[in-house]
Amino acid sequence: MRTLTVSTRQREEMVDVTGLVRESVRESAVREGVCLVYSPHTTCGVTVNEGWDPDVVTDALTHLHELVPREHGFRHAEGNSDAHIKTMLVGAAASLPVAGGELRLGRWQAVFLCEFDGPRSRELWVVVNGDR
């Protein structure tokens, strides 16, 4: 397992971590298998989506904010209930294929750390399993 550290700069943002994940796969020496990217945080998730057009990220964050507004009047005393719910919607992990020793993504796809309660220093745990 490799631990990646990612610093976020805003309360809500999606950070493209594709390069870091690709590097983890290459260092694993696994030729064929699966790469798990997992966030051990309750207010930060992982997703795969379009990484080419930044408007996709903007639209996703805007829509999540509309679905789960911060100022809803939640009972959780820390004031970040919206971040917990957004993380539940996005998910804490992504499983990705590895083929030929490389992370395999679609043409426009990227791996994102989804920050909903930043700015913070976050960890992603990357596990690559398969045949060497």
Domains of the chain in start order, with CATH, are 12-131 (2.60.120.460)
Question: Which comes out higher in pLDDT, residue 127 or 79?
Answer: 127
How far is residue 51 CA from its own chain's centroid?
Answer: 12
Closest CA to 106 of 120, 93, 94, 96: 96
d(CA 6, CA 18): 12
d(CA 98, CA 80): 35
| Cβ within 8 Å of residue 116, ≥6 positions away | 11, 12, 43, 44, 45, 64, 80, 82, 83, 84, 86, 87
Structure tokens at 1: 């397992």
Q: Mean pLDDT, to the nearest integer, of 28-33?
A: 97
pLDDT above 70 as % of the chain? 100
d(CA 105, CA 51): 11
Closest CA to 124 of 39, 8, 2: 39
For residue range 67-121, list pLDDT tens digits in order. 999 887 888 878 899 999 999 999 999 999 999 999 999 999 999 999 999 999 9
Closest CA to 93 of 125, 61, 57: 125
* Per-residue pLDDT, 71: 83
Residue 46 above 80 pLDDT?
yes
